[in-house]
Amino acid sequence: MKTYDWRLAPNPRRVRMFLAEKGLDVPLEEVGTEACGSSPSSSRASTPYATAPTLELDDGTCISEAMAICRYFEDLHPEPRLMGRYAKDKAVVEMWERRAYEGPMFAITEMLRNTHAAFVQRGLPGIAEPIEQVAGVVERGRGRLRRFSASSDKQLGKSRFMAGDAFSVADITAFCALDFLARLLETPVAPEHVHLRRWFGEVAKRPSVPASA
Ligand SMILES: N[C@@H](CCC(=O)N[C@@H](CS)C(=O)NCC(=O)O)C(=O)O
């Protein structure tokens, strides 16, 4: 078993941080900007979903999508629970995880991927055919970040973590996205979002943060 990884990118970090929280050690293979294939011999041209992270199991099964990989490990190693225990918690975790993904994580795609020279003709991740960058989506990305910051600040005024009082994969996705955005923007979390800032500082102290950096 191994995970195709891209150290600098925010999505593979979601899985590294999740594994670190669980105390699991899965070998990583760095595939960098070439993204990853579903096997070492495959290429972006032959793999329709050539994104990092991708988990390759010993039987050759390849699982991409960070949340699918996390679900696999959560089922095999339930404790500590990072995806909720009961029906309601599971639903609330999934709701906030998806909001974090579609908020700051999509903001990175729209703001960086559509402007940076490294992604010319690679406007969408993991796709072999040339995809134009669309500079017009940068502003939309800023809006995603702004709206998520406001709504999660409100939520974090009521609870310790994104999806309630327990740390979860929703915190992992939000943290990985905001920590990555801190490299692009001076203040990814605005000063007035005091609850979000409190949460960010608290999560930053978890051992899984340096372990996954
Ligand atoms: N929906 C996927 C997104 C994965 C993704 O976009 N990964 C990026 C790195 S952050 C990637 O592999 N990009 C490959 C490329 O640039 O072609 C997930 O949640 O895992």
pTM of the shown model: 0.94
Q: What pLDDT was estimated at residue 42?
A: 42
C-beta 149 within 6 A of ligand 1: no
Q: What pLDDT was estimated at residue 46?
A: 46
Q: What pLDDT was estimated at residue 37?
A: 40
Q: Which of ligand 1's atoms lies nearest the C-alpha of 69?
A: 20
User: What is the C-alpha separation between 208 and 205, in angstroms, rounded?
Assistant: 8
User: What is the C-alpha separation between 6 and 201, in angstroms, rounded?
Assistant: 25
Quick count: other Cβ atoms within 10 Å of Cβ 72?
Answer: 14
pLDDT mean by block of 10 residues, the chain; 213 residues: 92 98 96 50 53 92 94 98 98 98 96 90 85 93 96 98 98 98 87 97 98 97
Sheet with 62-64, strands from edge to edge, namely 28-30, 2-5, 54-56, 62-64
Q: Which of ligand 1's atoms lies nearest the C-alpha of 113?
A: 16
Q: What pLDDT was estimated at residue 50?
A: 80
C-beta 9 within 6 A of ligand 1: yes
Q: How far is CA 24 from CA 17, 18, 111, 116, 168, in A?
A: 10, 9, 33, 34, 16
Atom 6 of ligand 1, residue of closest alpha carbon: 125
Q: What pLDDT was estimated at residue 209?
A: 98
Gap from CA of 9 to ligand 1 centroid (Å): 8
Q: Which of ligand 1's atoms lies nearest the C-alpha of 108?
A: 10
Gap from CA of 192 to ligand 1 centroid (Å): 31
Q: Which of ligand 1's atoms lies nearest the C-alpha of 11?
A: 10
Atom 11 of ligand 1, residue of closest alpha carbon: 51
C-beta 14 within 6 A of ligand 1: no
C-beta 125 within 6 A of ligand 1: yes
User: What is the C-alpha separation between 153 and 145, in angstroms, rounded?
Assistant: 12
pLDDT digits (tens, 9 = 90+) for 134-175: 989 999 999 999 999 999 999 999 999 999 999 999 999 999
C-beta 176 within 6 A of ligand 1: no
Q: What pLDDT was estimated at residue 47?
A: 54
Phi, psi (degrees; rounded to nearest 5) at 5: -125, 160
User: What is the C-alpha separation between 71 and 213, in angstroms, rounded?
Assistant: 21
Cα torsion 92, 13, 116, 201 to 10°: value is 70
Which amino acid is located at 79 in the chain?
E
C-beta 11 within 6 A of ligand 1: yes
Helix residue spans in the chain (DSSP H): 10-22, 66-76, 87-100, 106-108, 138-156, 169-184, 194-204, 208-212
Q: What pLDDT was estimated at residue 157?
A: 98
